Structure formats: structure tokens, C-alpha cells
Amino acid sequence: LRVDWVSVREKKEKWMREYLKLQTVKTSVLTSQEYSSFKESNKYWLPSYSLFYTLKRKNNLAGWVDWPETKELDQAAKDEKLSSIQETKQYQALTRVDWVSVREKKEKWMREYLKLQTVKTSVLTSQEYSSFKESNKYWLPSYSLFYTLKRKNNLAGWVDWPETKELDLAAKDGKLSSIQETKQYQALTKEYAEAMEFYQFQQYCCDLQLSAAKKYAESKGVWLKGDVPFLCSGDSADVWVHRDLFQQGYSAGAPPDMYSKDGQDWGLPLYNWSAMDLDNFTWWKQRLQVASKYYTLYRIDHIVGFYRVWAVPKGKKASEGGYQPQDKALWIPQGERILRIMLDASKMLPIGEDLGSIPKEVYLNLQKLGICGTRVLRWERMWENKEQGQPFIPVADYIPDSMSTVSTHDSETLPLWWLLKQDEAKAYCQHRRWSYRVQDLKGQPPKEYQYHLENQNQKIVGKTMPVPYLQDILREANTSSSLFHIHLLSEYLALVPPTTDEEGLIHWDPNLERVNIPGTVQSSNWSYRMRPSISTINQHQVLKDLMLKSRESVQADISPLPERKPHVYERQYSTQLPTKLRVLPGRSYPLGATWDGAGVNFAVFSENGYKAYLCLFETPESKTESHRILMPEYDDFVHHCYLPDLRPGQLYGYRIEGDWDPLNGLRFNSNKVLLDPYAKSIGRDLQWHDSLFPYNIQSPSPHKYLEMNTEDNSSFCPLAAVVDNSFTWGNDHPPNVPWHRTVIYEAHVKALSFQHPDVPEHIRGTYAGLCHESIIAHLKKLGVTAIELEPIHHHVDEKPILDKGLVNHWGYNTLSFFAPDLRYCATRSVLGAVHEFKTMVRVLHSHGIEVILDVVYNHTAEGNHYGAMFNLKGCDNLAYYKTPEGDPAYYFDYTGCGNSLNVRHPRVLQLIMDSLRYWIQEMHVDGFRFDLASALARQFHDVDKLSAFFDIIHQDPVISRVKLIAEPWDCSSGGYQVGNFPVLWTEWNGRYRDSIRGFWNGKGVSLGEFATRVTGSSDLYTAESGRSALSSINFVTCHDGFNLLDLVSYNEKHNDDNGENNNDGANDNHSYNHGCEGSTDDSGINEFRWRQRANFVATLFLSLGVPMILSGDELSKTQNGNNNTYCQDNEITWLDWDLYDDEDEFLQFTSKMIKLRKSHAVLNRRRHLKGEVNGVKDVTWYMPEGHEPSYDDWHNTTKQALGFVMDGDAIVDLSHTGQVHKGETILVLVNAQFFDVNFKLPAHHSGKHWQLLISTDRALKNQCGTSVFQPSSSFTLKDHSISIFHLYAPINQSRANLFRSVNLRKSQDSV
């Protein structure tokens, strides 16, 4: 049943010894070239291995410690003061470096050193050592634990460690993302702390030496260039700890190419870019930051791998692999995204290793990023020019953004290439007008080089390329126009070959000069050592003279070329434009600026403007445009052109020529640079100035809006920036949470994280801050499924507000319908907002949280006829805005903000639809809340649910599939349209808000009205109109009005801070201060207020429909009585995360209510209540006395106590598999009166009892989840409180039900 290794090994060894005695073996195998070569190439370990086992057999398999030979050798080493049983000079004689042996000796010495008392008391306790460990704590402990465990497990791979299995199990059971988070991991670090100290000290020594080397080099004017490998070993600390960052089912490699005809499998795991992207590639950033301590430049190994990598599935051949990503369209966006992050992560200058099979697009992208590529002389040819023999490219023509070299560590040396790749060498000779020849070394090679010359590699022993040729190649390579050039010392050593009389500086066998053969695993790889020592090289005058001559020749060659300008190493898009730009016709669609990878297409709509100019700005500080280009084409009322010389990041605007005739609605003014209506990024925000107004604002005339302002606004106007839409979305997909499972959290980007102590200060109040792990943890703990963000379209702070020292905090004053607001971007860069917003969405999606945007398409920031001109007014006022018929000098204003968009015009509808689709398809948002949506439905004047706006959305295959939420009112007559929007739409149910507030705050709301709102507002969202309870967005508070704490703390608004004499904001808030206006120390009032807030939260999550809570309500946030905080970007609106006990308890209560809702199917119905299902009522209402309410009970506003049972057996909803939902039955008791009420608990047809689950009466806190009440018993419900019960079967009842179930199953089986 098990393998008997001992017996099998004995038999094998016995058989092999008999085999070795055969004469044929002795004469053929033992004398063969293969056997001799094997022994020669392994002589650095094979003799000691065979001697060890010979002595072990001689000593009857005893351990070597007990051998007499060991004692004899040790004594001899001690007498001769040697460090081992072999002389150290033996290492100097080796052709290759014996890394294993050297490393063992170094480690042994260091362990002895670490035991010294002086080391323990001086080094290990030093401040420098402590600082090193502290600054590297994000990787050093895991690294040292990894190697400690590896040593403990006899160098086995971590996959086979018992500790790994234990840690993985603990992480899985605890649902933790990393083994580092487990208690077992912490226990291991404590258990092996002493052993770990060795590896930490080892790294400390490395750090000291490398840092000292860099410092010394810089003192001599030398920069060190390091090499950062693209991949890392699968058996490494990085992979062991961060397994989520690697794909271990694949290994990286290369397809068949010039290096390997069969392809290469490097055996190293691939990166999981999607996982790395979740924390913005922190692992790579940290890696580069460490490297930057030691290097000034660094080589980015296999740089094409960041764009795409050859993925070899485990168990497959390298040639059977394929590229990741599979979609070529994703290669450039992915690579550019990652490399930009790497460029920003350190100050080192990068050099890309872009050799092998590299797509042309990658080369172009590296040039765009300003990353130097690698140019190897022998491979730089015009490969596509086959007619002329694929000629070599002269080194003087290499692009400056490059690093040139004659060979690499992965290629043959020049002499070896010359001998082995004769076709290539002969082609190069033709390029240089040389004749190809080989130079024989003088004399006979020493014995160790006299192989049996049976193959090509061995026949070249004693040969090399002509030294003059080599010298000339090295000299010419120095004239390369590349920014950097590598001088390979090994190539210069070949200028002094060996002879019989002279030892020379290289081996007789040129194969021994090679560093690595890619795609192979052999002992000779990476063990190369130069034949001479460093001291020999330093003292070798012939070599010095040859090198100096090479450099002097270079100086002579390039000195007559003063016109060569030094290349400036840049990483960002160039802001310098050529004087003349190529202007091509371009296309009229899509509108806006579109980067296609080769240039930018510009298209702007203007039906009544007769000329359009594209204005290009070089920097945000530019006072005027550097280029003003007449857009040559005009089709379908669209001016357009295409500029192949432009790139993303370019700042631009438009000037439109047309008639200035305000009385007829025409306001064209070519003195104004206009923002593109389709601007996807704001490259420069506006600065308020009189020139931003189209009319003479300083005129004393009451009709000054008719006077044209000719002052140029180019120094103050907002500018758009061309964007590159590429982004690594990875496996991002919409969470698609169904409406009946949705819980919405309305929040402001800045206010949410600006004061959070765990969010890094530099990203607080930004898109990056919103997706920080601490914010995500709060949202998930709370249980929300969607975050509804107040406007993030870039907006304008109105000048009157700024003049008061305030800002437009809410942002309902849109400047661009496509551009994310720069105010919420942590990087504050031209293109940073777009990328940062996308990252936020992707992170939220990864945690199952949807993103809903509050969008303002009903008006713009340009105001009325006295307003400024930013974009739409100057592009085509009559087309974009709704004006009174017969009096187009003015504007319809359904919003109270000065204007209304003309949704009758097809181009305006296109603008809105294009914007919505952009945010869905490019930015991956999951839905929209339409501010003052009634204004969008006013096709003529009245609100029309059959308007073109609804028709277009309903038929759009993209927009119609996301969440659509209407604010169903505007500020004009007939605008209140709660319940009147068509199918597909949900609505903010203002009727629900007012009724629930009125009920709990004693405003005379009847039980009938309360019950109607709690059960889904079926009077508003009728089944006959195709709508359901899910059409109702239920809320008690929102950004507009009192928040929850203020709702129970203030009778009146207190908006003095807004600077409008408390005249702004609503006066009727259905609020109640419970005996004191504002905050108080009265414990009775505070307890009352706590209970009332809990009542609102409980009611909200017990109601059928879609619940929405306002951010901060769960944290007991106050706005000090301000019910219109639109201009308060300060502590009034910023969330306070420092919670007192009462506040923390309220947070826990809110979370429990959301959890209760999610876990009870009766609260997640997708349909309206039916009344009765299969003889069971879906909801049954009870008065405190136990009977059902009468007509008078329903409508008598003095009666404010009610109970209801929602039965889990009466659900008609089906699951996605067609099964009928069954849920728990719950009983809810409500008392909004000012006195306690005794409720008679109803009986249920199941015969079960009632167990108290949750109560807003904190006196019952300890009874929740424990106290059980019999049907018909009395329950005292405190004034202004809610208690929630579920059915509960006592032990004996449960046992009876179990027996009944078993007997039924037996009877069915017998049948």
C-alpha cells in the first residue's frame, strides 16, 4: 500500500553497481564525451558529493560528524587557518561561481557573527537597526518569517509546509483576505522571533552596503543603474503572503521568437493585475521605493509584460500558451496605466527592456511616456525592408529616447555571436563593407579546453572575431544618438584574447563568456565570472589604453556636430506645440474631442453660428491661445476637424462666430472662448471676471444685457482637456443589485471622508478617499448596497456666493455634463479626475456597492439673461435653452436657477443621452437620480410623461437598463408629479417623507395614511399603471432639508450662516424639537430624541419600497438647524466620525434594522400586497385591543397606535429559479402617542409564540432576542416607540413539528 523506498533504493543501487562492472559500459559510457562534459560542467559540486557518499558507505552510513576522516580534515583546516575543509583558493580557480557553496559559507559566518555579545549589545540595539526595521515593516517581518519557516522545513516549497495549510485554513474560516490577518500568523512571528532576527539582520547589512555603494558612486560622479525583475519566484515570500496578487495557475514565458524557437516557460507566476489595481498597485510602488534607495536609474525587465504577457497554463508547453489580456485593445491602456503609476512612484529614471516580439503600439506608447527603450546593435535593422536585405540602422539614427548596447546578458557576446551566428555577422559585414573572417588564437588551448570537438559550440574553442573589428564596433557604438549607452566590460576584455604565451583576459572557449541562455535551466546560467580579477583589470595598461582610445575616437567623431540638441527626458505629455499643425477634415460624430490613438477629432454643434474656431492652449496659466484654427468642415450643423499632432492632455476651447441679437435669442460673441459642451475633463477652472459675461456688465443701463461685451475672456475662461479613455477595468462588472434588495445611501463626496481619521489626509474629501478601505468598511457594516452621490459633474461656484466667502457645496450648478468635478480629485491633475473616479467605481463594485449619480440636466450654470457665458449660450443659445415664444431675449425658469434646457430640441436630447451613456459605458456607473426631473418632462410647458425625453430613455438599450430615479417635482406650477412618472422610473416619494415625519412628530397624520405609506404607496404607484411598491424611493431625510438629528431637535430652520437673513430653505419641515430648540443637556429630551430617530429608521426599513438614508444620520450628525446647507463646505456638512456611546449605539441600531430588512422576505416584496394568498392574509392590521381597525380608526387622527402582522406564508414573489419565496412572519407594534399603550398580542395560525427582536425602547434592549410572549398576552409599548417580533416555536413545539415532519416523510416513502 506504501512505497518501500529503502528496499527499492537498495535494489536499484545493487543493480547499478553490477551494470557499471560491464566491459561495454566501461569502454563506451565512461569514456564518452557526454560523460566527460557532464563531469566537467559539474565539477564544482560533483567530486565533493561523490566523496561524501563514498565515505558514508565506508562508515556504515553513519553521520559525517562521527567519521574519522571528518576529524582529520577539520584538524588540518584548523592548523592551516582555513575557513572550510577545502582551501578558499579553490573558489578562485573555478570557471563559474559556485553560488550554493559560497552562500552557505556566508550564512554560516553571519550566524556566528550574530552570536557575538558585542553585536547583540551594540548593533541589534542601535537606533539605526531599529529605524531600518521600522521603515521596512511592511515587508521585512513576512520575508524573515518565510525564510525561517523554509529553513525549518528543510528548504521545501511553502506549498508543502504544514504552517501554510494551517494559515490558509484560518484565513478561510475567518473570511480574511490574507494569512497575515490571522491569529496563527501573529503566533508564528512570536514563536520564531529569534530565528527571524537573522534574516532581518541580513537585510540590514545588505541595505548598509548598497546604500554606501550608491553614496560612494555619486561622490565620484557615477550613477548606479539597477535591474528590477518583471516577475518573482513562485516560491517566494511575496507570493506566499500576497497570493491574491498572483495567478498561480499560469506561469509567464515568451512565445517562439529569436531567443527560442519553441518559446519559453520561465516557471514564474503571473500577476493578478485586477487585484493589484484595487489598492492602486501598492506592491509595485513599495518595490520601486526600496529600489530607489540604491539606484538612480533602473532597467524595467520585460517591459512589454506590463502591456501583455505570454501566459503558459500549468502542465502545458510554452508554445501552447497565449497572451493576457486576450483582447489586444486592452494592451496599451493596461500598460500605460501601470507604467504611469510606476513613473510616479519613484524618482529613478526608467530604461525599458523592450526586446523580442514587441508590438509596434508598445514602442509608440513607450515613446509617449518618455521611457527609454533598449537598442541592441545587431538587432536594429529595417526588418520590413526585405528587398534591400533588411539593412542595419546606423547607430547615429537611433531615437534619442533609448539606451543602446552591443549585446545583453541574454545574448551571445560579440565574439560568440560572430562565431555562431555567421549569417547575421556576414550581413553586418556587408553593412560595414568588411569581409567576414575568423581569428584563430595563437597557440594551443590548455588541456581543460581540449574537448572532443563534436559540435559547433565546441569547434569554436580557440577562435574569436578579429580584434580590429571588435574594436571598431565598440568605437562606433559609442557614437549612438541614444540618451544612454551600455559599455559591457566583458566585450572590452575580449580585446585582449589569450595566447600560449599570454594568459589574456577571456577564456579560450568563448562559450564560457556567456551569462545566460534564455529558456534553459542549467548550472552555467547566471554563474558567469570574468576570468581576471578586479585588481588585474585595474592594473592592465593595455586594456586601459584600448578603452581610452575608443572613447577618444568618439569625442573626435561627435565634436564637429554642435547642432545636435540635448534630449530632454520627459514623462508627461508635451505642452509644446509645433508652430504649424496639420488640420484634416475629421468627422462630425462623435461630438466633443475624441482621441483615437493617432490624433484628436474635434466636433461642436452650432445650428445658428456660421464659423467655429478651435483654440489650443499650452498650459493652464496661458493668457491666450497659442493656436486659433478655423474648423474647415460643417456638416449637419456640426463644425469639425482632425489634428493628428495632438495628444491627450491638450487644453482647448472654441470661439463661435454668429449674430449678436439678444432680442431674437442670438448671443454669439467670438470674443469669448467657450468650453466644449462635451468636455470630458476640465483642464482649467474658471476665474470670475467681467469678461466672462457676454454683455457689458458695468453698464448702468437696465437693458445692459443687450450691449455686447468685446473684452476677451481667454485668461479667465474654463478650458477642456482631451482625455484618453483607456483604463484597466479588470473584471469589473455592475453589481446589478435588484431593486427589492437595494438600500441607498445618499452622500457627498467631500463631506463623507473629509474628517475621517483613518483616511490619509491627502485623499480626504476625494474620489480616492471615498473608496478608502475605512469608508468601504463603514458602508458594508451598515449594509448599504448603493451610494447615491450628490452632483459630481464639474460645477460653478456662483459669484454672489463667493462674494460672501462661501461656495456651492452641493454642486447643483453644472458646467460640464461629462467631466467629473476637479474639486474631488486627490491628484488635482488635468486627467487625474477621470482616472480617479473610475478607480473609485471599480473599488466600490468589487465590494458589491453600486454607484448612482445625482445629475442636473434641468438647467446650467449660465443663468438667465443677466448670467455669464461659459459654453451653451455662446454655442447656440436658441437651440440649447427654452425661451418664451415671441420673447427669446429671456428664459423659461422651472428650476429657480435662471434657465431651463430645451429638451424639445434633438441636439439637446442628444447631449443628455450621450452624457448618460458616457457615464454608464465609460465610467461604469449604475444609475442616476434626476434632479427636478419634472422640468425635463416639460416638452412644451406642462409636464408630459409621454414627452420625447421619456421615449428616448425607454427605447435606449443602455440607459433603460440602469437604475433611474426621479425627483418628481420642480419649482414651477404643475411640477409636483409624485406618482406620475412612467414605468422604468422610481421616484423620491415626497409624500412618504412628509407623512412619516408628520406621524411621528404629532402633525395629525392618520393611521390610514401611515399604513398606506408603509405598505408601498399603492395609491401613487398603481399596478394598473405598471408600477409597484419598488417605484417608491422611501426616505425621511435627504441632503435638502433637516437631517435626522435636526428633525427631532428643531422646530424652526436656522440658516443665518447662509447669508440670506434666514429667508432661504423650506419653512414647513414637519419637525419637532421635543421641548428644547437645538442641543440640550436634558437627558430626558435626549432619550426622547434618540427614540424618535430610531422610530424613523425602523419605519423606513419596515416599509415596502426602496429605502434611502442620508449619510451622517447613522452617525447622529447635526447641521445646527440649517435646512439648506448648499453653501456650507465646513463642519456643518462634514461628517463627524468621533462618536459618543449614544451615537455609536444608534449606528449599531441602524445597521441592525438594515440587516433585519435584508433577512426577511416579507420586507423585500417585488409586488404590491394582494390582501390574501392561499387563505392567508399578507398583512393583518390590529388595534391595541386586538381587533382590526374600523373606518373611524383608520381616519381618526387622534389614534396613533397600530399593530400589523406581515405573514411569511403569503408571498407571491418567485425566485429566479421559479420557487415561491417563503419568509419569516413578523409582528410590528407602533405607538406614536404621548403615553404607553397595552397591546393584546394576536394569535397566528401556526400556533407559535412571539419573540421580541428589536425595539426602539432602549429599556427593552436586554429582552430583544430572548423574551418570548404567548398569543393574547399583553405587551406594554412605550410612548413613541416601535417593537418588532417574529414567530418563535418553544422547544416542545419544535420537537412536535419535527416528529410530525418525520412521520409525514415515512408515510410518503411507504406510498
Contacts of 160 (CB under 8 A, 6+ apart): 153
| Strands in 147-263 per DSSP E | 225-228, 246-254
Contacts of 278 (CB under 8 A, 6+ apart): 842, 843, 846
Contacts of 1264 (CB under 8 A, 6+ apart): 1252, 1253, 1254, 1255
Q: What are phi and psi of 536, to 5 degrees?
A: -60, -45
Q: What is the full DSSP assignment across 862-884?
A: T-STTS--SSHHHHHHHHHB---
The phi-psi region of residue 1076 (left if phi > 0; otherwise alpha if psi is between -120 and 50; otherwise beta) is beta
The pLDDT assigned to 382 comes to 85
Rounded CA gap, 634 and 1198, in Å?
Answer: 70
The pLDDT assigned to 1215 comes to 62
Cis previous bond, 68, omega within 30: no
Rounded CA gap, 972 and 2, in Å?
Answer: 88
Number of Cβ within a 10 Å radius of residue 132 = 18
Contacts of 814 (CB under 8 A, 6+ apart): 791, 793, 794, 795, 796, 856, 857, 859, 860, 861
Check if the beta carbon of residue 136 is closer than 8 Å to that of residue 147.
no
**Helix H or strand E encompassing 1099:** helix 1083-1102
Grid coordinates standing for 334?
493596461
Query: Parallel, antiparallel, or unpaired for β 638-643 and 651-657?
Result: unpaired
Closest CA to 378 of 491, 459, 300: 491
Predicted TM-score (pTM) above 0.85: no
Local structure of 1281: helix, strand or coil: strand
Contacts of 20 (CB under 8 A, 6+ apart): 26
Handedness of CA 839, 844, 846, 850 (dihedral sign): negative
Closest CA to 564 of 484, 485, 482: 482
Rounded CA gap, 1099 and 1035, in Å?
Answer: 10
The rounded radius of gyration (Å) of the Cα atoms in the chain is 39
Continuous H helices in 378-448 = 414-420, 422-432
Grid coordinates standing for 393?
540602422
Question: What angle, 0 to 180 degrees and rounded to 10, lies between the N-to-C axes of helices 331-345 and 360-369?
Answer: 30
Check if the beta carbon of residue 894 is closer than 8 Å to that of residue 858.
yes
Contacts of 170 (CB under 8 A, 6+ apart): 176, 179, 182, 183, 184, 185
Q: What are phi and psi of 1202, to 5 degrees?
A: -155, 145
Q: Which residue among the candidates 676, 854, 967, 1009 is catalytic per the annotation?
A: 967
DSSP 593: E
5-31 residues labelled b (16+ CB within 10 A) or e (exposed): eeeeeeeeeeeeeeeeeeeeeeeeeee
Q: Is 69 a catalytic residue?
A: no
What's the per-residue H, E or C state across 1149-1169?
HHHHHHHHHHHCHHHCCCCCC
The pLDDT assigned to 571 comes to 30
Grid coordinates standing for 130?
531599529
Contacts of 25 (CB under 8 A, 6+ apart): 19
Rounded CA gap, 805 and 799, in Å?
Answer: 10
In this predicted model, what pLDDT tens digit does every residue of 448-475 receive, in sequence order?
A: 766 544 445 667 888 899 988 898 888 8
Check if the beta carbon of residue 812 is closer than 8 Å to that of residue 794.
no
Q: Which residue among the candidates 876, 893, 931, 1057 is catalytic per the annotation?
A: 931
Residue 69 CB-half CA count within 13 A: 13
Contacts of 285 (CB under 8 A, 6+ apart): 341, 342, 345
Q: Is 661 a catalytic residue?
A: no
The pLDDT assigned to 457 comes to 60
| Strands in 943-1068 per DSSP E | 963-966, 985-988, 1032-1035
Question: What angle, 0 to 180 degrees and rounded to 10, lies between the N-to-C axes of helices 183-191 and 193-219?
Answer: 80
The phi-psi region of residue 758 (left if phi > 0; otherwise alpha if psi is between -120 and 50; otherwise beta) is alpha
Q: What is the full DSSP assignment across 1209-1266?
A: T----B-TTSPBP----EEEEEE-SSS-EEEEPPP-TT--EEEEEEES-GGGGGGTTT
**Helix H or strand E encompassing 99:** helix 99-114
Handedness of CA 35, 37, 38, 42 (dihedral sign): positive
Rounded CA gap, 1282 and 1230, in Å?
Answer: 5
Handedness of CA 1138, 1141, 1142, 1146 (dihedral sign): positive
The pLDDT assigned to 566 comes to 31
Q: Which residues of the chain have pLDDT under 50?
A: 85, 452-455, 553-575, 940, 1291-1311
Closest CA to 266 of 522, 519, 523, 516: 519
